[in-house]
């Protein structure tokens, strides 16, 4: 009975090594350059490439639009070559000390950006001493979070996970 267990363990270990080798080979299919090309399709043409970070399973490609003052971070899965996350941050703006927009206004802003969104959570929060609306929502293809200025309705940050 002891030999059977050892054979099973060795079999599992061998299968794991083969799977790891195949995954490593597949991961090598996406390069930093091809990740940058994939990410570029998700941002405005004028945004400049800043950095490409190489993680074990994904590339995170960062761009900056100097005109709009928006930072973009796009994550590309090495195995599937698909975008898995998009983050944007408006760098020259923040929340407000004044809250002039209602929850209904914020819902309209969210639905204008993402017409099929189902809002899961909305709250007025304090961020670095300023008020912001935080909105969590889902669609059929992703889940997202927005930070919206409660006075102007400007989207300050967005995080979209596919």
Predicted confidence (pLDDT) per residue in 92-141, tens digit = 999 999 999 999 999 999 999 999 999 999 999 998 899 999 999 999 99
Strand locations in 66-150, DSSP E?
70-77, 83-90, 118-127, 130-138, 143-148
**By three-state DSSP, how is residue 38 classified?**
helix
Pairing of strands 58-65, 83-90: unpaired
Predicted confidence (pLDDT) per residue in 25-44, tens digit = 444 589 999 999 999 999 99
Find tokens 């590309």 and name the residue: 76
Quick one: which of 53, 49, 51, 87 has its CA closest to 66? 49
Contact present, 27 and 19 (Cβ < 8 Å): no
Contact present, 73 and 51 (Cβ < 8 Å): no
């Amino acid at each position: 009975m002891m030999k059977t267990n050892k054979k099973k363990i060795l079999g599992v270990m061998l299968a794991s090594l083969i799977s790891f080798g195949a995954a490593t080979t597949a991961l090598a299919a996406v390069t930093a350059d091809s990740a940058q090309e994939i990410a570029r399709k998700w941002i405005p043409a004028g945004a400049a490439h800043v950095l490409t970070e190489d993680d074990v399973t994904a590339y995170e490609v960062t761009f900056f639009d100097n005109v709009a003052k928006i930072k973009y971070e796009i994550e590309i899965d090495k195995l599937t070559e698909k975008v898995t996350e998009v983050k944007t941050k408006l760098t020259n703006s923040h929340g407000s000390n004044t809250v002039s927009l209602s929850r209904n206004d914020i819902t309209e802003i969210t639905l204008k950006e993402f017409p099929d969104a189902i809002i899961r959570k909305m709250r007025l929060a304090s961020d670095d001493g300023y008020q912001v609306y935080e909105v969590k929502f889902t669609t059929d293809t992703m889940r997202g979070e927005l930070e919206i200025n409660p006075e102007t309705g400007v989207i300050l940050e967005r995080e979209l996970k596919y």
